[in-house]
Structure 1
Amino acid sequence: MPTTTLTPRGTTARGTTIALKLLMAVTGLVFVGYLLLHMYGNLKALTGEEGFNEYAEHLRTFLTPMLPYGGLLWIVRVVLLLSIVGHVYAAFKLWSRAGEARRTKYAAVKTAATSKWMRWGGVFLLVFIVWHLLHFTIIKISPNSEKQGSNITQNPYELVVASFQVPWMTLIYVLAMIALFMHLKHGVYSAQQTLGWTGSPKAHARAKTIGLAVAALIVVGFLIPPLSIAFGLID
């Protein structure tokens, strides 16, 4: 008589786990695409005030009059909001299931470090994103007491420069980029694994290299403008 070790309930749970991993992979790749574009935009600060502000304004007028002023930005914000909700939901569900599924001390030790880093690093990044949006998009407050005033909040370049002339602001940003590097390094690799792109030892090694390269590219690109400002290379 044929038998199976998988119960209907176990099969359902496994299917749900695969769906959650796919959700996490796809939403994660959406973020990677956005981060690459955002990094490119930030590097415009190296061209000076006129170039950076022109880029910032272009984002609001892009595809007008087909879209209203700022329409593209709102589309991007909605996509990112939906992605972050899906990503966080999938992450917490998977972490919860992983904790319940660990039955041996070996398995717990093997996955504990990466799991904890991804969990708490992700929470730190989520808090940073909220702060980043409040700082540069929603409230637009300059933490530089020497450069306060209404004009600075209407000038994207001046707001960025004034912000990273404050040491504690730069430190928070650097810490966030360290967390982002670790998150991307593992996350990009895991996304490729989930999508079935690591089926051979060569593909597995390539996926790890891609994860490291993408993480390094994005983080270095994001760090160049604030560190240039902090060290007085941009003013």
Structure 2
Amino acid sequence: MALATRTDNGSAVRKPPPKRSFWGSTVGKKVVMAVSGLLMLGYLVAHVMGNLKVFFGPAEFNEYGHWLRTMGAPVLHQEWALWIVRVVLLAAVVAHAVSAYQLSKRDIKARPKKYVHQRKRASYATRTMRWGGIIVALFIVWHILDLTTLTVNENAQPGRPYENVVATFSTWYGNVIYITAMLAIGLHIRHGFWSAAQTLGVGSASRDRALKAIANGLALVLTAGFIAVPVAVMTGVVS
């Protein structure tokens, strides 16, 4: 809202409202949310490709795990590249979560009263984005404790990622936690990819159907790819 001030002769002069910073604006937060989401999506694509190496046996999967710690050599020292990826990913997760939380607060503040007639206008994925985000955040903590620090993996063997993956998915709770989180991630991708495209100006009426098809395809392929690993361990395909 513009502010009014008085001149020497008593006439009112309206001052323009103060300009918000990029981060302070709603559009800026949406852009941050979109870009950080796409960064995480890129990581998920690379991650699922690495996970599927488990089907080629322990030698290749363990070699892949070793490569992750030495990638960038000899230019970079041991695990430097891996830590760079971790820091960028953590920054993306924090930026995504903070912008989503603040946008949600603004939306609630803009509409403090409930509608008289309640109507479901959003898809199931849209309505569960908040809870899906919480599930994914909790899963990330568990996943790190399970396969990175090996804190909660009872049968972990340091330096043997293949055996650790098999150990995780040999437990009922490991499968339940992982599959539930992957379904939540799939729903998040399904809505988030299309939403990011709209925010970044890629979407349009003519492209809407294609973008939704891409979002559905990405969500389905990534979810199936991630869930394939615990299912393979449960069925004895990977052991």
Q: Normalising by structure 2, what TM-score?
A: 0.85
Q: Which of 186, 190, 207 is the matching residue for 2:191?
A: 186
In the alignment, structure 2 segments of 5+ residues that lack a partner are: 1-14
Residue of structure 2 in register with 1:36 after alignment:
45
In the alignment, structure 1 segments of 5+ residues that lack a partner are: 1-6
Q: Within 2, Cα distance between the matches of 1:55 and 1:82?
A: 25
Q: Within 2, Cα distance between the matches of 1:209 and 1:96?
A: 30
Residue of structure 2 in register with 1:65 after alignment:
74
Question: Percent of counterpart pairs with the same letter?
Answer: 37
The CA deviation string for residues 20-74 of structure 1, in whole angstroms up to 9 with x for no partner, is 0000000000000000000000001000000000011011111211000111100
- Larger CA deviation: 132-141 vs 109-118: 109-118
The CA deviation string for residues 65-119 of structure 1, in whole angstroms up to 9 with x for no partner, is 1000111100000101111111011000011111122366268753596554111
- Larger CA deviation: 61-70 vs 17-26: 61-70
Larger % of helix: which? 1
RMSD of the alignment, in Å? 2.4
1:197 matched to 2:202: yes
Q: Higher relative contact order by CA 8 Å / sep ≥ 6: 1 or 2?
A: 1
Residue of structure 2 in register with 1:222 after alignment:
226
Return the index of the structure with the highest Cα Rg.
Answer: 2
Q: Within 1, Cα distance between the matches of 2:118 and 2:28?
A: 23
Aligned residues: 222
For 2:223, give the aligned amino acid: V
The CA deviation string for residues 145-185 of structure 1, in whole angstroms up to 9 with x for no partner, is xxx36xx2331110101110112211111111111111110
For 2:99, give the aligned amino acid: A
Q: Which of 168, 172, 181 is the matching residue for 1:167?
A: 172
1:134 matched to 2:137: no
Cα offset, 1:13, TM superposition: 9.4
Contact 2:169 2:234 survives alignment (8 Å): yes
The CA deviation string for residues 191-217 of structure 1, in whole angstroms up to 9 with x for no partner, is 0010111222x2111111111111111
For 1:110, give the aligned amino acid: R
Q: Within 2, Cα distance between the matches of 1:205 and 1:12?
A: 34
SS in 2 for 1:153: coil
- Larger CA deviation: 209-218 vs 17-26: 209-218
Contact 1:140 1:153 survives alignment (8 Å): no
